[in-house]
Amino acid sequence: MKNFLKLTIFLVALFSLFSCREDLISKTKTATLRGVVTAKESGTPLSNVRITTSPITEAVTTDASGTFEIKDIPLGDYSLKAEADGYVTKAMGISIKTEGQISSVAIELLDDKTLNSSPAIPDLITPANNTVDQPLSINFSWNCSDPDTKDILKYTLILKNSSNTDVIEINDIKEKNYEVKNLKYGTTYFWQVIVNDGVNTPVYSVSNKFTTSNSPLNRLHYVQNNNGKLTLVSNNLENNNLFTLKENAWRPRKNNSANLIAYLKSVAGDIHIFTSKLDGSAEFQVTKIPIGGFNSKELDYSWNQGGTQLIYGSFDKLYKINKDGTGTTLIYTAPVGEFITECDWSYDEAKIAVKTNNINGYNSNIRILDMVGNVLTTIVNNSIGAVGGINFSVDGKKFIFCQDVSNYQDSSYRQLDTRIFLYEFTTSTLTDLSDLSKKTLGTNDLDPRFSPNNAEIIFTNTSNDGISPKNIQKISLDLSLQNLQRTTLFTNAEMPDWQ
């Protein structure tokens, strides 16, 4: 009986204990937590932010408006954590004290780029500071590092010079080097590199300086046709020192005595002779009366050997002018109906050659004049085909020109079989150099010029279709003038000059 009584008391006590625990659980007090998450810098609501608490309750994510809600969160103190890709994780303390309360919280997340470090200051390598005699094409190089290895660095190269206020700026360079071409001779440049990691403020290097070499020693000048734009360039025989002098300029004529290069340019619809230094600087318009003829690209003029004067044709008139633009003097007037398109001045300054033609460029004449305009010799008389490219040899005993032996004429001045001829003054004989050097069938040889030592002839060769590229070739002469060899010097090149 005693044992039964003890068992009964134990069961009653155990039932009472469970009843009390169930009453405690059912009476746990809760509330609701609501919040909004935004970007600290812009205030933009952030979606898909993961919200968790410690102690652990329900984990939620923010919606498109940046809001979240945790329902039935027990009262108490919590650490609330907000996590999102691209942002710095943030933890904050909150306290839920009142049952049934709706607590609100605002969370601002920092873009994790705010923890990004700036790149190092670029270290300039080449060209080294204060170097001189630098080429006109330079591969600039530098070093730069970034502690944030995932950053994509982009560079800006800035070039200034001591001559003017021009600034060369190349942006969005991805490598640690960049080649700049066609710098100016004899010029001091200042260069600097800016690095940008796309996050922080751009970082500037120091500014270094260098000086390019003096004027080029190139003896060959010619014209390139770049998509219809005539560009005057210089080069050497090895074709490894190409230098651009001028754009929209043609028919170069260098004079060693004056140390200047002359060329033609269009000014307000007229063609004029200009000069500049050999690096293209100090441009000067020589002529006041324009140079004129039937076709601007066929016009030619000449220096005297001393480099003090030039001669040129203006329709039917031949003028002489000082290189400083003074002293314009009429030398010769062509017969009625003739235009003076080309002229050349002998090395001894005693004779002038003129080529005249009609308004269409045909019915050409080549006459040799003295310095007062008297006709001494007529080499070509009323040629049906096109004629041009007149040039005295250095000793004045020979003369070259080109002539279209097909005698073809049309409104576009197309030539079909233009050849180079060598004229001997002492014997009045003509030699077909194009034939002896085996000119390719269907091509024209144009604008011939003697080399400075008379041993070679430089000229333009091109297809007679009138649209193909032009190339500059040379013919090496010998005493026998037999089996002459021709060599291509430059492609996409015309109007050569060799001094």
Query: The domain that contains 247 carries what CATH number?
Result: 2.120.10.30
- Do the Cβ atoms of 404 and 415 come closer than 8 Å? yes
Q: Which residues contact 383 (CB under 8 A, 6 or more apart)?
A: 362, 363, 364, 365, 403
Q: Which residues contact 442 (CB under 8 A, 6 or more apart)?
A: 463, 464, 465
Residues 375 and 257 in one domain: yes
Residues in the chain with pLDDT < 50? 1-2, 4-5, 7, 9, 11-12, 14-26
Residues 154 and 264 in one domain: no
The pLDDT value given to residue 115: 77
Residues 136 and 159 in one domain: yes
CATH number at residue 153: 2.60.40.10
pTM: 0.65
351's tokens: 């004779």
Q: Which residues contact 144 (CB under 8 A, 6 or more apart)?
A: 119, 120, 121, 122, 123, 153, 155, 176, 193, 195
The pLDDT value given to residue 108: 94
Residues 124 and 98 in one domain: no
Residues 311 and 391 in one domain: yes
The pLDDT value given to residue 211: 94
- Do the Cβ atoms of 90 and 114 come closer than 8 Å? no
CATH number at residue 94: 2.60.40.1120
Residues 38 and 149 in one domain: no
The pLDDT value given to residue 50: 96
The pLDDT value given to residue 47: 95
Query: In one letter, which amino acid is 325?
Result: G
Residues 35 and 88 in one domain: yes
In a domain, 466, yes or no: yes
Q: What does the chain come to in residues?
A: 499
Domain that holds residue 49: 27-114
Q: How many domains does the chain have?
A: 3
Q: Which of 212, 234, 257 is the last residue of a domain?
A: 212
Residues 238 and 99 in one domain: no
Residues 173 and 240 in one domain: no
The pLDDT value given to residue 22: 42
In a domain, 60, yes or no: yes
The pLDDT value given to residue 6: 52
State the first-to-last Cα distance of the chain, in angstroms, to the nearest integer: 141
Look at residue 282 and give its three-state secondary structure.
coil
Q: Which of 212, 228, 254 is the last residue of a domain?
A: 212
Residues 106 and 136 in one domain: no
The pLDDT value given to residue 244: 85
Q: Which of 212, 239, 274 is the last residue of a domain?
A: 212
The pLDDT value given to residue 27: 66
In a domain, 338, yes or no: yes
In a domain, 452, yes or no: yes
Q: Which residues contact 321 (CB under 8 A, 6 or more apart)?
A: 273, 286, 287, 309, 310, 311, 312, 327, 328, 329
In a domain, 390, yes or no: yes
